[in-house]
Every structure is written in C-alpha cells, then in structure tokens.
Amino acid sequence: MNKAQRTIFQVASFMIAFAFLGSVIDYVGAAPDIEDLKIEINKRSEKIQELEAQIRETKNTIGDLQKSERTLANEIARLDAQIKALYLDIALTEEQIGSLNLELERISLEIKQLEDKLYETKKQTAGILRSLQETAEYASPVTLVFSSESFSEVFDNLTAGERLEAELILIIRDLKTTKQTLEEKRIMTEKKKQELETFRETLAVQNSILISEQDDREDLLYTTNRQENQFRQTLKTLEVQQQTIEKEIIQFDAQLRRLVNPSALPSKGALSWPTDVVRITQYYGSTASTGFINDQYLFHNGIDIAPPSGIGTPIKAAASGTIIGMGNLGRLAYGKWIAVDHRNGLITLYAHLSKQAAQLGQSVQNGDVIGYEGSTGFSTGPHLHFTVYASETFRIEERSYGLLPVGASLNPMDFLE
C-alpha cells in the first residue's frame, strides 16, 4: 500500500475513534449539571423521609385521641392533630412535586446529551461510509495484491480493512442502543409528567380539606362557646339524633331484605377494594361480634376501612357504574356520602368523606377517584364506611337533616376480590 492509501485508512480509523471520543466528551461536559441535580434530588428525598416520619407520628397521635373519652379538650386536640397532619401532607406533596420537577430537568439534560451523541454518531458514520466508498477501489483483494510490494503488506492491508468494518459495526450497534435509551427516557418523561399532574391535583385537594378542617374546628369552638358542659350537651343531642337515624336504617334494612333476589347477585370478585391500602377496623354484622366500641349501634351495615394515610386518602369506585346519589348529613350518620350503581345487582355507598370528587349522574370506571377519606358525620376519626346494597332495594329518603341512603345491605366481603 502506498502512502496515500495508508493515509486514507488512517483518517477513516481516526474518524471512528473520534465518534466514540466525541460521545464521551459530550457526556463529560453535561455531567456536572446532572450531578448537581442528583444532589438536589437526594436532598429532597431526605426531606421527604423526614416528613413521612413526622406524618406517621402525628397520625399515631390521632389514633390515640380517637380512643380517648369524647371531651371538648380531646376533640380540639384531635382536630388540631388532623390539621397538623394535613399541613405535613401538604408539605410532603410540595416536596414530591419539587423532586419530580428536578427529575424531569435531569431527564431533559440526559435526553439532550443522548440527542447530541446520536447526531454526532450519525454524522461520523456518514463520513466513514463516504470514505469507504471513495477507497473501495483500493480495498479489493486483487487491487491490493498488485499494488502491494510484498505479501506481508497485502495481509496488513486486508487486516486494516476488516478492522475498519468491525469498528463500523460497533458504531452501528452503539447507535441502536442510543436510540433505544433515548426512547426509554422520553417514555419516562411522560410518566413523570403524569405523576406531577397527579401530585398537583392532590395538593389542591389537600388544601381544600385543610380549609374544611379548620372551619370545623372554629365551628366546634363557636357552638360550644369553649365550654365543656356545652360540648357534652351538644354531643348528647347528636347521640340521640344518631340513635333515631340508626334505628330507621336498621328498620329499612330489615323490611327491604325480603326484596333481595340472591340469584341476581354477582359472585365474589365483582368489586375491587375502594382504597389502595386496606386496613379494616370494623367488619359487617352484629356489633356484638364485630366489636364496635359504640354501644348504641346494634348492627353495622358495612365495613370500615382506615388506611394509615388518613384524611385525604383517595377513595375509588369499586366497579364501573353511575353516581346515583350523594349528600351531606353534617355531623350525623354518613356525613358526606356517594352512592354508585354498578348495574350488576349491586350499589355501593362511600361515607364519612372529607370531599366528594364526582357529580350526580356521572359515569365512573373501576378505580376512578370519587372522593377522599374523612371523618364527617357521626364519626370518631378518619375512615371510610363502605356499604354494599342489593340494587333493587336501594332508596334515598328525604329528611330534615338531609338525604339518607337506605336499603338491604349485604356483606361486602362476599363481593370484594
């Protein structure tokens, strides 16, 4: 091979090496920005862990207060603890939003880095292919034999050509890997954006619930005039009203039970759990067997679910259906409630909500968020009361205190998956 031929091969080999080197240089140049973001993300993660620990501690306090005697001081302490928990939840959500924004910024830099690498690799590959095309006449075995001064030079030239082809194959493989990584980063970006939108929605809900809890606290102080005796009198009045409502619910349940058609009921698995985390604190049936702490209840027509996350936990439709009822009974019975007809022989009730997130007549899919856990109505603490009715027996009765859902209740455990 003459000097000109050797130069062409050397230039082509250098271009391949530069393609790899260029991608490394790009990576190193972008690294400090990405590393800075990683440090900030780690700081956010540590803050999130601290907030989660504070939230757990505060919610343990709420649990202890729920078991305490219902006095004005304990009720105010419980509301204060719930308000504190909501403030911490809001701070946690804000940190999670901040962390996600940093993640998106980091991924954006990584995508830019990959796009630069892709561009440079494509450009270098195109240059190498042009060089190979230009030198094709020198690379044929026949040409090499007649143009070389010795057999050893023929061997060297063939080896150089094979090495060039092998290195080109490696570049093409690297190009494919880069494209795949780039696509994965873009998919990850979309997922992070969806998470960010969810957190923003959660933040809006948490702020709304916080205002409601603060209003409840002020209302309690106002109606009791900050006096323990006044609180006890108010509580006694509520208990008497609650006993009347409970008797009416049980009577309707017994009367309408004869209308239940067992053959029209679906099998187990027809319903999904309405919360992501399930912690049952009260089962369906006679309170003598379920262990309900309030003596005025003889029968519990649903199950109580109290996820550790507490007030503001998303409550989801247990199956697809239509919102056929919703109401607010204030400090009585179910408080804020929603009923969903699943068109499979079952209607589900979601009670004690802090916030309703659906409209009457709205169609919902299995797993759609329709409300948020709370402690409205006659309740000693945050939880979801979940009742399942035979659909042909369900009624909504108008009363002076609001709309009261009634019907023949069924054991939810018979239908939950």
Residues 267-301 have pLDDT tens digits of 999 999 999 999 999 999 887 665 555 555 678 99
183-207 mean pLDDT? 90
Count of domains forming the chain = 2
pLDDT of residue 143: 53
Residues 302, 167 share a domain: no
Answer for the pair 337, 349: CB distance below 8 angstroms, yes or no: yes
Residue type, 106: R
Residues 286, 205 share a domain: no
Residues 323, 410 share a domain: yes
pLDDT higher than 70, residue 113 = yes
User: 3-class DSSP state for residue 100?
Assistant: helix
Calculate the average pLDDT of the chain.
84
Could you tell me how far CA 363 lies from the centroid of its own chain? Answer: 21
Of 221, 248, 273, the position where a domain reaches its end is 221
Is residue 316 included in any domain, yes or no?
yes
Handedness of CA 26, 29, 33, 35 (dihedral sign): positive
Residue 291, token pair as written in the block: 């262990």
Contacts (Cβ under 8 Å, ≥6 apart) of 179: 118
Residues 82, 35 share a domain: yes
Contacts (Cβ under 8 Å, ≥6 apart) of 158: 141, 144
CATH of the domain at 386: 2.70.70.10
pLDDT higher than 50, residue 2 = no
Is residue 298 included in any domain, yes or no?
yes
Q: Per residue in 18-50, pLDDT tens?
A: 444 344 434 444 445 888 898 999 999 999 999
Choose the weakest-confidence range: 160-169, 258-267, 312-321, 327-336: 160-169
C-alpha–C-alpha distance, residues 244 and 248, integer Å: 6
Residues 336, 272 share a domain: yes
Is residue 43 included in any domain, yes or no?
yes
pLDDT of residue 21: 39
pLDDT higher than 80, residue 125 = no
Confidence of residue 179 (pLDDT cuts 50, 70, 90): confident
Is residue 232 included in any domain, yes or no?
no
Q: Per residue in 154-168, pLDDT tens?
A: 445 545 556 666 667
Residues 244, 165 share a domain: no
Is residue 135 included in any domain, yes or no?
yes
Domain of 261, in residue numbers: 237-414
Is residue 226 included in any domain, yes or no?
no
Of 196, 221, 246, the position where a domain reaches its end is 221
User: 3-class DSSP state for residue 329?
Assistant: coil
C-alpha–C-alpha distance, residues 202 and 196, integer Å: 10
pLDDT of residue 169: 77
Residues 113, 46 share a domain: yes
Closest C-alpha among 325, 334, 347 to residue 271: 347
Residues 263, 187 share a domain: no
